[in-house]
Amino acid sequence: MPTIADRDEVQRLLQRGAQLVDVLPEREYAESHLPGAINLPLKKLDRAAAARLDRDRAVIVYCHDLQ
């Protein structure tokens, strides 16, 4: 099960070199995203898309909120 991270934990993980992934559609990513986040929309998240990520580093995913 993925670990839930709050805002403080996200900042700590980023300092450790974690990768940040915005899973919202491209349009919403273009409008606003967290600094350094890459966009891997959920609807396009297949193995090929995931290959953009480094498997040896932590990954943080987020969308807009709990919805």
Partner 1 sequence: MSPRAAARLENFGFREVYEYAAGKSDWFAFGLPMEGEGARVPRAGQFARHDVPTCHPEERLGAVRERVAAAGWDACVVVDHERVVFGLLDYSRLTGDPDRTAEEVMELGPSTFRPDAPIERLLDYMRRHRRSGVLVTTPDGRLVGLVRRVDVGSTDVLGG
Interaction residues for partner 1, span 6-65 (CB under 8 A)? 6-7, 9-10, 13, 18, 21-24, 29-37, 40, 42, 45, 47, 50, 53, 55, 57-65
CB atoms within 10 A of CB 24: 20
Cα angle for residues 41, 11, 32 (degrees, 5° grid): 40
Single residue of 4, 15, 17, 52 touching partner 1 by CB under 8 A: 4
DSSP class of 65 = S
Q: Look at residues 13, 67, 8 and name the one whose alpha carbon lies nearest to residue 21.
A: 13
Q: Which two tokens stand for residue 50?
A: 């995931």
Q: How far is the CB of 15 from partner 1 (least distance, A)?
A: 14
Residues that bind partner 1 (CB under 8 A): 1-7, 9-10, 13, 18, 21-24, 29-37, 40, 42, 45, 47, 50, 53, 55, 57-67
